[in-house]
Each structure stands twice: as structure tokens, then as C-alpha cells.
Amino acid sequence: MDEIFERTARLIGKGALATLKKAHVAVFGLGGVGGAAAEALVRGGVGTLSLFDGDKVSLSNINRQFFATVNTVGMSKTAAATERLKSLNPDVKLFENCFFYTPETADEVDLSQFDYIIDAVDMVTAKIELAVRSKAAGIPIISCMGTGNKLDPTQFEVCDIFKTSVCPLCRVMRKELKDRGIKGLKVVYSKEQPIKPIGTDDVRTPASISFVPPVAGLILAGEVIKELIKSGEAEK
């Protein structure tokens, strides 16, 4: 399978590729953001992924989620992800965790086993729990903020949560993290003003489009891969 990563090795070197192959990354949430992140990690050469999501694929997921197709509707998202990711690299090691990460289920997961954590979940309580527990475990984490009701993927930025603006989710997260003594969290967020959904009064379900959540996921994966390479170089 070395040929799969031939061009990647030309860019980052065989040593860095070996570092990625040994890495174990957790992806929490396999929707439009997390699915794209997981796929980019596997295509990038990360050797082991733990996948967390308690949801099943639905037709409404197809417009933006990499693992959602008419053939996977009804499957658990972790199973659909495994099927897809194994088709990209049969050697990748995947651990399916078909449940939602929440404050109630958090004790079931030992975060210290991971080299990096990607937070692509929707629930604020889950995002806070991941941030607090990853900090306590000393494991690096990157968290995605809101991607719904957005149309311009060029407005995504990577920065610390306490330097964000505009994003309503960021505002909530800043307050909650400050209350818990968390002084920093690396995030991907958008400065774009949210767009009001058309033709509905349902404000709980955000509108979405094919090219916005996946871009955020690709950015997450890129940050993780670059950081893993750096940490590998530092250990030499």
C-alpha cells in the first residue's frame, strides 16, 4: 500500500509519513465536518482512528456528509465510515464507538490513549466536556465551531477560542470554558454572519450546503497532521 502515499511522502518525507502511520487520532462526530476530517486523516496517512458517533445515516445527510449515500442510509455512521475508510486504505486501524459522547458517557472513553482529538460534535455540553477532559489528560485537541447557516468557506480561521468573534457558538464556549478555568482551546471557526434559513421557522435545525462543513473538516485534519509531524520531529 506504499504507493497510496507516494506523493504525500514527496511533500512531507518518509520520516513524517512513518510518524503519521503510528499516530492514533480520535474523531468525535462523523457528520459533515467530522466525516471530512476522518477521510482526510486516512488519505493523509494516519494509521489509527477511533470514531465516535451514535447516529445513523439519513437522506438529509447526503447534501454534505462524505459517508452518506443512498446506499448507506440507515447504517450507523461509524459503520458507514469504516466501510468507506477501509476502501481508501485497507491497512488503516479503525475503532468504532457507536454512541454519543456526552458528560454522561465520558467516563467510557480514556482520552489519554490518543495522540490528538478532533471535536466535531454539535452539542455544547459535549464540546465543553471534551475540552476539559482533554486538558486534564494532556492530549491536544482542536474543536470545530458552527458551520451551519454559512455559505462562504473562505471565512474559516484557525485560532484560540478567546480570540474569536461573530460566531454565536464561540461566544457560548468562551463563557463556559472561562467558568471552568480553561484558558485556551484551538478552534476552527467562521467570521461569516449566519444566514437566516429560508422558508422555515425552525431555528433549531441549521441550514447547510455541500461545500462548507467539509472545508472545516479538511482544515481540522490539516492542523492535526501538521501538529503530529511537528511532535514527531521534536521527539527525534
Q: Which three cell numbers stand for residue 172?
A: 457560548
Residue 2: per-residue pLDDT: 80
Confidence of residue 61 (pLDDT cuts 50, 70, 90): very high
* pLDDT reading at 186 higher than 70: yes
Strands in the chain per DSSP E: 24-28, 48-52, 93-97, 116-119, 141-144, 156-160, 186-190
Residue 98's CATH number? 3.40.50.720
* pLDDT reading at 159 higher than 70: yes
* pLDDT reading at 201 higher than 90: no
Q: Per-residue pLDDT averaged across 199-214, rounded?
A: 92
* pLDDT reading at 9 higher than 80: yes
Q: Give dist(CA 4, CA 210) in Å, integer.
A: 26
Q: Per-residue pLDDT averaged across 220-231, rounded?
A: 97
Express as a percent the part of the chain with pLDDT over 70: 99
Confidence of residue 75 (pLDDT cuts 50, 70, 90): very high
**Ramachandran category for residue 7: left, alpha or beta (phi over 0 → left; psi -120 to 50 → alpha):** alpha
Residue 22: per-residue pLDDT: 98
Q: Per-residue pLDDT averaged across 107-135, rounded?
A: 98
Beta-strand pair 48-52/93-97:
parallel
Between 168-179 and 124-137, two packed helices, what is the crossing angle to 10 degrees?
Answer: 50
Number of domains the chain is built from? 1
* pLDDT reading at 236 higher than 70: no
| Average predicted confidence (pLDDT) for the chain | 96
Confidence of residue 1 (pLDDT cuts 50, 70, 90): low
Residue 203: per-residue pLDDT: 79
SS3 state at 174: helix
Domain hosting 11: range is 2-234
Q: Per-residue pLDDT averaged across 172-187, rounded?
A: 97
